[in-house]
Amino acid sequence: METLSWLQIFTAMAMQFLPVWGALALTFALSITFKRRLGLYGKLFDSPVGMMGFGIVMFWVFTALLADLIITHDPLSQVSGMKNALPGTPLKTQAEGLFAHYLLGGDNLARDVFSRVVMGARSVLSIAPAATAFAFMVGITLGLPAGYFGGRLDTALSFAANLVLAFPVILMFYLLVTPEIQNTGPLIAGWRASIPNVMAAVLFAFPIVFFSILWNSRFFTNPRQRNLYVGITLAIGLWIYAGLAFGADPTGLWAMEPNLLNVFVSVVFVNAPTVFRIVRGIVMDIKSRDYVAAGQTRGEGPWYIMLWEILPNARGPLIVDFCLRIGYTTILLGTLGFFGLGVSPESPDWGSTINAGRKLLSQFPHAAVVPALALMSLVLGLNLLADGLREESMKD
């Protein structure tokens, strides 16, 4: 077999991404058809910038979801004779059921770059949005009372947030995700009280607290409905919490490997103070509005006003910041992977793939350039999406 030309390479890659193109076409068709019924999401399709960003982001989301259908080789397998292979290089020995070429070449360990970039999208998008959502839970739960009540509570929480923000981010990440830190701390009933584990035990409790307060404040006058929602939240939340924070889920459904836990907790810990300051500032501005005073006059409780009056009116800036923060987290994950501090050394995440390819950058640039372009495109898409959401939210 002959080496593929660039036209043949791009054609083959486009064919591999057919499931993604189909999913994108269906998503855009349905969204544009029903956009007037979809609130802020629907208004996004009135913004060319927002649509472009949404398209790029959803391309990588669908790539992550459908990665098993797109990859041409096992991203961890090493094929003999394919070390540092150029894009379009045919396999030396063709096995049954194996794709005939390395579409984007091979890395220094003879692994398929195309498959590693595709599977790297799943690695990034399984961590960045979830970790950002946890950080928002922490920041919102602490930022609302700090901005609403003020006083000593605000002073104490703001001081703690400023302490975290004053520490160099990269150095903090390095200290928190170093594998050796997982073995520090005493062993308590089979649970290692290391710094990441203790941080996980604290940070992972915030979603349970947030939703419990949310339902309690909303249905305080309807005890039966309140008890139902709070009970479901506690049952499911504590089950997930026991698995993630203590590894005590008997089903094994909710569990994290030590390296993944380190990275996840680090992202939450670093992002939460910034979210806290944003929420605090918005609340301090909104709490003087007339509708807040009307709620206070009706005798509504402080948490009801914060969660059901102030927070919905702060959704625009928070949604925009959420998109931007996923981009920042993606860059941080790429940086950690580049320094070998990611989920695992052989992980196909983009940072690790860039690091593996940079060693022979002058002779074989494809192994580092392709994952770098993938990372850049996702962050660009998130930034464009945030710009579109900001533009449309200002029209509300």
Give tens-digit pLDDT for 32-71. Answer: 999 888 887 888 888 899 899 999 999 999 999 999 999 9
Closest CA to 74 of 62, 58, 91: 91
Yes or no: say if 25 and 76 are a contact pair by the CB < 8 Å rule.
no
Joined together, the tokens standing for residue 271 give: 């992002």
Which distant-in-sequence residues (6+ apart) come within 8 Å of 37 by Cβ? none
Q: Which of 326, 356, 376 is the last residue of a domain?
A: 326
Looking at beta carbons, which pairs linking 313-318 to residues 24 or more positions away fall under 8 Å? 313/286, 313/289, 314/279, 314/282, 314/283, 314/286, 315/40, 315/393, 316/40, 316/389, 316/390, 316/393, 316/394, 316/396, 317/278, 317/282, 317/390, 317/393, 318/136, 318/140, 318/278, 318/279, 318/282
Are 156 and 107 found together in one domain?
A: no
212 in a structural domain? yes
Are 139 and 258 found together in one domain?
A: yes
338 in a structural domain? no
Are 110 and 166 found together in one domain?
A: no
Which distant-in-sequence residues (6+ apart) come within 8 Å of 162 by Cβ? 273
Are 137 and 122 found together in one domain?
A: no
- Give, as one character, the DSSP assignment of residue 342: S
CA-to-CA distance for 338 and 345, rounded, in angstroms?
10
For the chain, what percentages of helix, strand and coil (3-state, to nearest 5) are there? Answer: 70, 5, 25
CA-to-CA distance for 210 and 233, rounded, in angstroms?
10
Are 157 and 112 found together in one domain?
A: no
Closest CA to 237 of 222, 262, 215: 215
Are 218 and 277 found together in one domain?
A: yes
The boundaries of the domain holding residue 347 are 6-127+343-393
Are 234 and 145 found together in one domain?
A: yes
- Condensed to tens digits (0 to 9), the pLDDT of residues 312-357 reads 888 888 988 999 899 988 888 888 777 777 666 667 888 888 887 8
Q: Predicted confidence band at 189 (pLDDT cuts at 50, 70, 90)? A: low
Q: What is the largest CA-CA distance in the chain?
A: 79
209 in a structural domain? yes
1 in a structural domain? no
Least confident of 160-164, 287-291, 341-345, 368-372: 341-345
- Give, as one character, the DSSP assignment of residue 79: -
Are 170 and 267 found together in one domain?
A: yes
Closest CA to 275 of 326, 310, 208, 322: 322
Q: What is the mean pLDDT of residues 127-153?
A: 92
- Dihedral of the alpha carbons of 21, 50, 324, 134, in degrees to the nearest 10: -70
332 in a structural domain? no
Tally the domains of the chain: 2
Residue 126 is predicted with a pLDDT of 86
- Burial of 86-119, coded b for 16+ CB within 10 Å and e otherwise, reads ebbbebeeeeeeebebbbbbbbeebbbbbbbbbb
Closest CA to 391 of 330, 311, 323: 323
- Condensed to tens digits (0 to 9), the pLDDT of residues 219-249 reads 988 999 999 999 999 999 999 998 888 878 7
Are 141 and 189 found together in one domain?
A: yes
Instruction: Please provide the average confidence, as pLDDT, over all residues in the chain.
Output: 86
383 in a structural domain? yes
pTM of the predicted structure, to 2 decimals: 0.87
Residue 121 is predicted with a pLDDT of 92
Are 34 and 49 found together in one domain?
A: yes
Share of the chain above pLDDT 70, in %: 94
Are 229 and 113 found together in one domain?
A: no
Are 106 and 141 found together in one domain?
A: no
Q: Which of 294, 326, 358 is the last residue of a domain?
A: 326
334 in a structural domain? no
Which distant-in-sequence residues (6+ apart) come within 8 Å of 44 by Cβ? 35, 50, 51, 54, 385, 388, 389, 392
Q: What is the mean pLDDT of residues 261-279?
A: 89
Distances, alpha carbon 105 to alpha carbons 4, 211, 232, in Å: 11, 48, 50
Beta bridge partners of 188: 191
229 in a structural domain? yes
